[in-house]
Amino acid sequence: MTEKRTVTTIPVTSPQGDYDVTIGRDIYSGIPDALADDVQKVLIVHPPAMGARAAALRESLADRYQVLLAEVPDAENAKRVEVAAFCWQILGQADFARSDAIIGFGGGAITDLAGFVAATWLRGVSLIQLPTSVLGMVDASVGGKTGINTNEGKNLVGVFHAPTAVFADLEVLDTLPRNEILTGFAEIVKAGFIYYPEILDIIESDVAAATDPTTPEFRRVIELSIDMKARVVGEDFREAGLREILNYGHTLGHAIEHAERYQWRHGAAVAVGMMFAAELSRLAGRLGDDAVDRTRRILDSLDLPTEYPVGRWNTLLATMQRDKKTRSGMLRFIVLDDIGKPSVLTAPETALLFAAYQEIGS
């Protein structure tokens, strides 16, 4: 991390080209410098809630580029093939060239969609991600995973396509409802449990300060989380090994999102998934009671859920068995050997999984 005044830059290495994540306030003026000299057209993909900001961004870029806007549905409703086709139509009608660029301007679902459109248009155009949610900043926009959902599951169609730059402008979080900030914290808590325990200490010492976008504590947990993601994806872009640790809490979390027809926020499902993964780690003999209690306490302090109905187990198990992360038909879970020490649990007995699930059953 390098810090210059109020701007922090975190470099990310990628086989498709290295890029920077810039963190600060009022930083979108740096976008033209991140675009290649031959870019003529820019498509900004944004949800309705970002309409006014997207129009202002268009205005600020209009003297140098022909700027198009694609307003797409909010949240997971954006991650549908029909929505990607709507964006492809705009690109086709505008004669969008391979040298042009797409900007993803929204939360994690929007940056996933914009990345997918950028990866697939003319076999790949450049992409700048402007995440506007906590989750988008610390997870979705960094690392080049792009994708859409199908009826069978989440992110089943996708491409690795690294951005050329990411700008995490903390100012856009100032007006977000508090529960939006808190659900994004699930990914920050994950970064604390798998990599940077300092994050957990900051949340525990003052949860109000840690979750207020205007404080140094908030900025620190965002920077640490992005730094963790940058280091992990820098080492393992295509998830051949280390990157799998980022799935902590996600195997059950994705199954819950699917069971809830994507009406639950991703962070809420991941929170339950992390509670499950902590209990599974404990029952597998790897993690102590203290770390499991700490997981519950921290998630409770953030008003994140830690329970799910016991009766839903069979449905969740069936979805997890279909999850793309199963290898050779075997379920794999990221568990903790200790805080900051994730590892893989392969093909656990169904009885062990159910026992862990009963610990979080309501």
Q: Is residue 190 a contact residue for ligand GLY (CB under 6 A)?
A: no
Rounded Cα distance, 161 and 125, in Å: 9
**Binding span for ligand GLY by CB under 6 A among 47-55, 138-146, 214-222, 284-292:** 138-146
Rounded Cα distance, 35 and 102, in Å: 10
Is the CB of residue 135 less than 8 Å from the CB of residue 184?
yes
Sketch the per residue contact string, 211 through 250, with ligand GLY: x for CB under 6 A, - otherwise.
Answer: --------------------------------x--x----
Q: Which residue out of 79, 229, 258, 332 is catalytically annotated?
A: 229
Distances (CA, A) of 360 to 292, 306, 335, 353, 354: 11, 7, 16, 11, 10
Whether 154 is catalytic: no
Q: Is residue 139 a contact residue for ligand GLY (CB under 6 A)?
A: yes
Q: Is residue 53 a contact residue for ligand GLY (CB under 6 A)?
A: no
**Binding span for ligand GLY by CB under 6 A among 9-17, 137-145, 146-154, 282-290:** 137-145
Whether 266 is catalytic: yes
Is the CB of residue 12 less than 8 Å from the CB of residue 18?
yes
> What is the radius of gyration, based on Cα positions, of the chain?
20
Q: Is residue 145 a contact residue for ligand GLY (CB under 6 A)?
A: yes
Q: Which residue out of 53, 76, 161, 187 is catalytically annotated?
A: 187
Residues 6+ apart with CB under 8 A from 291: 193, 278, 281, 282, 336, 338, 339
Which helix (DSSP H) or strand (DSSP E) does residue 52 occupy? helix 51-61
Is the CB of residue 143 less than 8 Å from the CB of residue 235?
no
Q: Is residue 79 a contact residue for ligand GLY (CB under 6 A)?
A: no
Whether 123 is catalytic: yes
Cβ closer to ligand GLY: 41 or 265?
265
Of 115, 143, 158, 253, the residue at the interface with ligand GLY (CB under 6 A) is 143
Give the residue numbers annotated as catalytic, written as ranges: 123, 145, 187, 229, 239, 243, 247, 250, 254, 266
Contacting residues toward ligand GLY, per CB under 6 A: 139, 143, 145, 243, 246
